[in-house]
Structure 1
Amino acid sequence: MTVNPIAGTSDPAPHPHATAEEVEAAYQDTKLAQVLYHDWEAETYDDKWSISYDERCIEYARGRFDKAVPQADLPYGRALELGCGTGFFLLNLMQSGIAEKGSVTDLSPGMVKVALRNAENLGLDVDGRVADAETIPYDDDTFDLVVGHAVLHHIPDVEKSLREVLRVLKPGGRFVFAGEPSTVGDFYARWLSRATWAAATNVTRLPGLGQWRRTQEELDESSRAAALEAVVDIHTFDPAHLEDIARSAGGEDVEAVTEEFAAAMLGWPVRTFEAAVPPGRLGWSWARFAFGGYKRLTWLDENVLQRFVPRSFFYNVLITGAKPQG
């Protein structure tokens, strides 16, 4: 449980074991779905998505920031991560020198708990709040930087949230959001994932391949999580439309860039296959293949494909903008 530094009250405790009635209700209440799904995932989320706080992910997070803001005046004083999850984006950015002090917020108490634990383990100066991204519980002109990774597509009213982001930013402060799914990218990623899941879970039924199959209980739980995931993933974005939303919210110097086309074609099947087999079964050779393949295809995307493939075809959208000075 984290202490609310503004109101002096306590944030709600994590709730990782939802009842069947709560899950059923969540199908009609996207914010309840967000809490249940992310509290459910919080303690295993880093492992599921191969998240770490070492050089590999520090380099990845910093690369996303530098792609969105190539010439930033660093370090920022105080940064906020919206929809922090386990803290992946902000904590790795802080380790790379982007910001000196941080705050994390998420609608899920479980995610805030894990993010704060990760920050403490890393020795970073970070506080946290359980908070709705549409009503950020900090005063006007508090932060020099607001960041988020794979969060905007979970928020019902994106423009309202960006207005809140601009409110809590200091004049001239900047926001950077990365990891948002493009509309075209989400279409092919979902089909690739479904096909991979079907292939992996059916092939491992064959004689002699049982050791590659998770227990039916684990597979059923993954299927239930995936069903709820479909409720929490609300939006996909055309890059130009996301720019329009950010400008309408009051941002200036707004620009969206995209990445991962060939890399996404490998990345989504790889992640899905990893989720379908028992933990630890694949080993270091697989990890080297997956990461090495991703790096090579990222090079292809950045140095070749971005020259002629429309930006809306790339999977990840990054958006940045600033609060007007006056």
Structure 2
Amino acid sequence: MAGDTQDPAPNPHATAEQVQAAWDDPKLANVLYHDWEAGTYDEKWSISYDQRCIDYATDRFRLVAGDRDWPYEHALELGSGTGFFLLNLMQGGVIKKGSVTDLSPGMVQVALRNAENLGLDVDGRVADAERIPYEDNTFDLVVGHAVLHHIPDVEAAMREVLRVLKPGGRFVFAGEPTKVGDFYARKLGQVTWWLTTNLTKVPLLNSWRRPQEELDESSRAAALEAVVDLHTFDPAALEATARAAGAQQVRAVTEELSAALFGWPVRTFEAAVPREKLGFGWAMFAYKTWQRLSWVDEKLLTGVIPRELFYNVLVTGTK
């Protein structure tokens, strides 16, 4: 099935008519939104392909799946974006050969460019997660990061994942928002955005205000994000969805509570002020603080506080 058709070209500048139509079509919204974001996505989310993000990706994988069976010979990333999860797992020794898929042609293009720059053995396709364009029993591993909440029919996508996995193969999905976590993250983001954009109207702080056209563009992006983010998850319900699709040995874990309470206001503040105002010192402060709070969450809060209260849910299972 792979290679049967030519993939569509990226469309980073959608027309007003296309954007209007996207409000009633979540798949079109995902294509338009992520094609628009593809060129700046790594910068926006502080994504890199160095030891910092290699450690982050492999730690997430190990948290839910353990470190048995490494390395996997051939892995597919579903909804790859710019390739963050797969490429860093490959660099971390989890995966030998990779394939990236995404509904957004722009994201696939950037992911393949990132892989080439890193010298990694990766191919890619533009693909709908509910109809994965690969043959049955192709992959040893399927991974995804922050992708399930964009897919209209998660159970259908899970069935497709199991179809393309080899018998005994594993899937690992990380970075999905819990119902409770999404609620407090959005509220914190809204409050931070309001405070920052209003305080920087004060003349003394005006140099910290992003130009109005950039603020307007960010507001439009935030509005479209409401269309592309389709789900939040209860960990037990996500496990049930995977089992209903036919998965075995299903397990969901959660992470980030204090780290999320810190991280979401920080990310929102960074989006509301000029980038040149925030240098390397700020970046290290934000990262180190998030890292320490993640340690608190993992070592002190996990198992004490109900898993439903954490921000991220990760799920794994086998065929």
* 1:70-114 deviation digits (Å, cap 9, x = unpaired): 132110000000000000000000000011100000000000000
Partner in structure 2 of residue 173 of structure 1: 169
> Larger deviation: 203-212 or 52-61?
203-212
**1:5 positional shift:** 4.6
State the AA in 2 paired with 1:70: G
1:156 maps to 2:169: no
Change (3 A) 1:82 1:284: same
1:57 maps to 2:39: no
1:6 maps to 2:13: no
The alignment partner of 1:43 has SS state of: coil
**1:6 positional shift:** 2.5
The alignment partner of 1:280 has SS state of: helix
The alignment partner of 1:53 has SS state of: coil
* 1:149-208 deviation digits (Å, cap 9, x = unpaired): 000000000000000000000000000000000000000000000000111111111012
Partner in structure 2 of residue 250 of structure 1: 246
Distance in 2 separating the partners of 1:210 and 1:72:
53
Distance in 2 separating the partners of 1:264 and 1:118:
28
Distance in 1 separating the partners of 2:123 and 2:44:
25
Unaligned ranges ≥5, structure 1: none
**1:280 positional shift:** 2.6
The alignment partner of 2:277 has SS state of: coil
1:85 maps to 2:81: yes
Q: Which residue among 81, 90, 110 is the counterpart of 1:114?
A: 110
TM-score, with length taken from structure 2 = 0.99
User: How many residues are treated as equivalent by the alignment?
Assistant: 319
The alignment partner of 1:170 has SS state of: strand
Partner in structure 2 of residue 46 of structure 1: 42
TM-score, with length taken from structure 1 = 0.97
State the AA in 2 paired with 1:6: G
Amino-acid identity (%): 71
The alignment partner of 2:85 has SS state of: helix
**Which stretches of structure 1, 4 residues or more, deviate above 6 A after TM superposition?**
none
Distance in 1 separating the partners of 2:3 and 2:248:
29
Distance in 1 separating the partners of 2:304 and 2:258:
13
1:75 maps to 2:81: no
Asked if the contact 2:2/2:133 (under 8 Å) is kept, the reply is no
Partner in structure 2 of residue 310 of structure 1: 306
**1:307 positional shift:** 2.8
The alignment partner of 2:129 has SS state of: coil
Unaligned ranges ≥5, structure 2: none
Asked if the contact 2:150/2:229 (under 8 Å) is kept, the reply is yes
* 1:12-45 deviation digits (Å, cap 9, x = unpaired): 0000001111111100000000000000100000
Provide the alpha-carbon RMSD of the alignment: 0.8
**Aligned runs of 1:128-207 on 2, under 5 Å?**
128-207=124-203
Partner in structure 1 of residue 289 of structure 2: 293
The alignment partner of 1:137 has SS state of: coil
* 1:101-157 deviation digits (Å, cap 9, x = unpaired): 000000000000000000000000000000000000000000000000000000000
Q: Which residue among 94, 100, 104 is the counterpart of 1:104?
A: 100
Distance in 2 separating the partners of 1:5 and 1:252:
27
The alignment partner of 1:287 has SS state of: helix
Distance in 1 separating the partners of 2:174 and 2:70:
19
Partner in structure 1 of residue 17 of structure 2: 21
* 1:245-270 deviation digits (Å, cap 9, x = unpaired): 00000000000000000000001001
Distance in 2 separating the partners of 1:142 and 1:229:
33
State the AA in 1 paired with 2:104: S
The alignment partner of 2:276 has SS state of: coil
The alignment partner of 1:209 has SS state of: helix
Asked if the contact 2:2/2:135 (under 8 Å) is kept, the reply is no
